[in-house]
Structure 1
Amino acid sequence: MDWGRFAEQMASMARDLLAQDSVDATLERITASATELVEGCDAAGILVLHDSKVETLAPTHQLVVESDLLQQRLGEGPCFDAAHSSQGERVFRIADLTGLQQRWPAYAPQAHDLGVGSMMGFLLYTEEQDFGALNLYSHKPGAFTENSELAGWMLASHAAVAFAAARTHAQMEQAVTTRHTIGEAMGILMGAHNLSEERAFDVLRRYSQEKNIKLREVARLICERGGLT
């Protein structure tokens, strides 16, 4: 493998990731980069666990979705394990699933039927938190080498930082939008009912609690309707 060329590609990918304008676009670029840069990779996706439910993000092929759903249904599998950061491996490489029926007795043969020959997975994490697992698939057994694993690990390291940055940016944008909407809603209430700023916010808060609706949603409704009714 030409590591000099790979380093150039990684640097280009890192800049490209930071240039994306949304979390979804960042994730799609991550998984597309995996198929472009990691030798042997036919498909990639990011698996996130919500308790025992899986969410597949930015899959490049239907095989990724089918594999994740199979692991959810069976409650076992390498990607399922990797996404459990508290008990999973940060990196795994499986040359041939047919030799691992003892570890995943239900998943291994059914994954083989789906067309999975070999797999790799990398936990996406920073010092602050885990984000799920980047999973790479090949239709061929033995497709992933030690070089493939190293390349995947380097890509996943960049991906985790980009994922964290994109999500933080999205959260900040949402917070700014929410503050603006709440301020606009308070202005509507203040003008319509001759309320002080404090009283207008209290009306919003009380309505939110009584109706069990998030404050930002109450504010949005007021802005759309011109009031609470």
Structure 2
Amino acid sequence: MKLETLAPDTETLSVLETAALLRELTAGLISVTDFDEALTRLVGIARGAVAGVDWCGFTVLRAGEPAGVAASDPALAGLDDLSHDHDSPALRAIHRREMILAEDLERESRWPAWAQRARDLGVRGVISAPVDVDEQVIGAINLYASAPATLTTRHQLTAMLLAEHAGLLLAAVRDRERQLAQAHEVDAAQLTDGVLGQAIGVIMTQRGCPAPEALQVLRSAALSLQIPVGEVAERLVLTVSRPREN
């Protein structure tokens, strides 16, 4: 990622600050399986962890089309939504694959409609950094300041760090989301699969529980007995199908 504009000061992030930011971001997203929830957590963490930043947003494109936003303050969510403005810092960051900085929106000539809406909401400075998630999803993380000349080299370095690390974490979330969906598809197929389906039906009748819970009962039994789920199902069906002795 390259910088469109680099502030003249020489502030840098300390090792401890960097480690703390990465640790907090990782802890917040490491177990999340829903992409939208991950975005909500991401902007909340960034807003709270980066001094001088008053709001944080995230813009999402899926297959090249606007596909959602997340914002630390719902009142500013429209600034991250590309369906409102086709010309904005976030879209420029995504298309140019570079960080975009506007230190003072009062003097900003780029994205005139967007800049006016931002000023009306109290925003005076913005940094947008592109985030690569996977082959289908890309986005931009947007850091907003309520005062001009607030966003410095430190904030640009932080935004770069956030973008790189967030891209890795969000890609992992997308993988977990896909794996969970595939597992649900497998479960749905198993619910009606031969002997396994019959065994699930037996448990549902005996316990008065739904099919997914019955499947989990079979899995727990298989784990306890250390035998395949299919074998547990066969034993159960065989047991209930035996004629009772008079």
Do the structures match in fold with TM over 0.5? Answer: yes
Correspondence for 2:173 among 143, 166, 174: 166
How many angstroms apart in 2 are the aligned matches of 1:78 and 1:90?
A: 10
Cα-to-partner distance string for 1:97-122 (whole Å, 9 max, x where unaligned): 22222x21222222211111100111
How many angstroms apart in 1 are the aligned matches of 2:159 and 2:190?
A: 46
CA positional deviation for 1:61: 0.5
Query: Would the alpha carbon gap of residues 2 and 105 (structure 1) be closer, same or farther in structure 2, given more than 3 Å must change?
Result: closer
1:1-229 correspondence runs (5 A): 3-23=14-34, 24-49=36-61, 53=66, 55-57=68-70, 59-69=71-81, 71-83=82-94, 87-101=95-109, 103-125=110-132, 128=135, 130-187=137-194
Unaligned runs of 5+ in 2: 1-11, 199-211, 213-246
Identity %: 24
TM-score by length of structure 1 reads: 0.70
Decide whether the 8 Å contact of 1:45 with 1:56 is kept in 2: yes
Query: Would the alpha carbon gap of residues 106 and 147 (structure 1) be closer, same or farther in structure 2, given more than 3 Å must change?
Result: same
Cα-to-partner distance string for 1:159-188 (whole Å, 9 max, x where unaligned): 110000011011011101111202323449
Cα-to-partner distance string for 1:138-164 (whole Å, 9 max, x where unaligned): 111111101110011112211110000
Query: Would the alpha carbon gap of residues 100 and 8 (structure 1) be closer, same or farther in structure 2, given more than 3 Å must change?
Result: same
Range moving further from structure 2, 177-186 or 15-24: 15-24
Unaligned runs of 5+ in 1: 192-219, 221-229
CA positional deviation for 1:54: 5.2
How many angstroms apart in 1 are the aligned matches of 2:178 and 2:84?
A: 32
Length, aligned pairs only: 187
Decide whether the 8 Å contact of 1:93 with 1:119 is kept in 2: yes
* Structure (1 or 2) with the larger CA radius of gyration: 2
CA positional deviation for 1:28: 2.8
How many angstroms apart in 2 are the aligned matches of 1:41 and 1:82?
A: 18
Query: Would the alpha carbon gap of residues 92 and 63 (structure 1) be closer, same or farther in structure 2, given more than 3 Å must change?
Result: farther
Cα-to-partner distance string for 1:25-76 (whole Å, 9 max, x where unaligned): 432332122113323211112111355545112x11024313234x533422
How many angstroms apart in 2 are the aligned matches of 1:81 and 1:62?
A: 22
Deviating 4+ runs (over 6 angstroms): none
TM-score by length of structure 2 reads: 0.65
